[in-house]
Structure 1
Amino acid sequence: MSLVAFIIGAGPHIGAAVGTILKQNGYRVALGSRNPKTDKETEEGFYPVKVDASSSESIQAAFQAVNAELGPPNVVIYNAASFVPLPTPEDPLSLHLESFQSSTAVGLGVFAAAQQAITGFRSGVHKDSPKAFIVTGNLLPFVSALPAYTSLDIQKVVAARLVETFATAYKDDIRFYFASLVSPSGELPKGDFPKSAETHAQVYWELINSRTQGNWDHRFTLDGKKLPGYERS
Structure 2
Amino acid sequence: MSASKPVAFIIGYGPNVGAAIARKFKSEGFNVAISGRKVDENAAKEDGYLGISADCADIASVRNAFDRLEGELGPAAAVIYNAFSANNTTDEDPLANPYETFLNNVIVTGVNFYEVARRAKAGFEKLSADTPRALIGTGNLQPWVTFPFALGMSVGKRAMANIVEASAAAYGSRGHRFYYAHEVKGETGGPQVPPTGQAHAEVFYRIWKQKEQGPWEVCFTETGALYDRAAGKVVS
8 Å Cα contact 1:74/1:132 also seen in 2 = yes
RMSD (Å), alpha carbons: 1.6
The answer to which of 114-123 and 132-141 deviates more is: 114-123
8 Å Cα contact 2:91/2:147 also seen in 1 = no
Q: CA deviation at 1:195?
A: 5.6
Q: C-alpha distance in 2, partners of 1:82/1:33?
A: 12
Match of 1:215 in 2: 215
Q: C-alpha distance in 1, partners of 2:195/2:160?
A: 24
Q: CA deviation at 1:126?
A: 3.4
1:91 corresponds to 2:96: no
Q: C-alpha distance in 1, partners of 2:50/2:178?
A: 24
Code of the aligned partner of 2:128 = H
Residue number among 32, 46, 69 corresponding to 1:66 in the alignment: 69
Match of 1:9 in 2: 12
Q: C-alpha distance in 2, partners of 1:37/1:129?
A: 30
Q: CA deviation at 1:35?
A: 1.6
Q: C-alpha distance in 2, partners of 1:59/1:186?
A: 36
Q: CA deviation at 1:225?
A: 0.9
Match of 2:128 in 1: 126
Q: CA deviation at 1:29?
A: 0.6
1:113 corresponds to 2:116: yes
* Cα distance, 1:11–1:115 mapped onto 2, change above 3 Å: same
Q: C-alpha distance in 2, partners of 1:9/1:229?
A: 26
Percent identity over paired residues: 35
* Cα distance, 1:58–1:229 mapped onto 2, change above 3 Å: closer
Q: C-alpha distance in 2, partners of 1:229/1:147?
A: 21
Query: What do residues 81-133 of structure 1 show as CA deviations (whole Å, max 9, x unaligned)?
Result: 111022x662122111111111111111111101111111012x333211000
Code of the aligned partner of 1:113 = V
Q: C-alpha distance in 2, partners of 1:69/1:20?
A: 20
Q: C-alpha distance in 2, partners of 1:203/1:135?
A: 12
Match of 1:136 in 2: 138
Question: For 1:171, what is the secondary structure of its paired residue?
Answer: helix
Q: CA deviation at 1:185?
A: 4.8
Question: For 1:30, what is the secondary structure of its paired residue?
Answer: strand
Instruction: Name stretches of at least 5 consecutive residues in structure 2 with no aligned partner.
Output: 232-236
Query: What do residues 41-88 of structure 1 show as CA deviations (whole Å, max 9, x unaligned)?
Result: 1111000001111222111100000001111111100000111022x6
Question: For 1:76, what is the secondary structure of its paired residue?
Answer: strand
Code of the aligned partner of 1:209 = K
8 Å Cα contact 2:17/2:195 also seen in 1 = no
Instruction: Name stretches of at least 5 consecutive residues in structure 1 with no aligned partner.
Output: none
Match of 1:103 in 2: 105
Total equivalences in the alignment: 226
1:146 corresponds to 2:147: yes
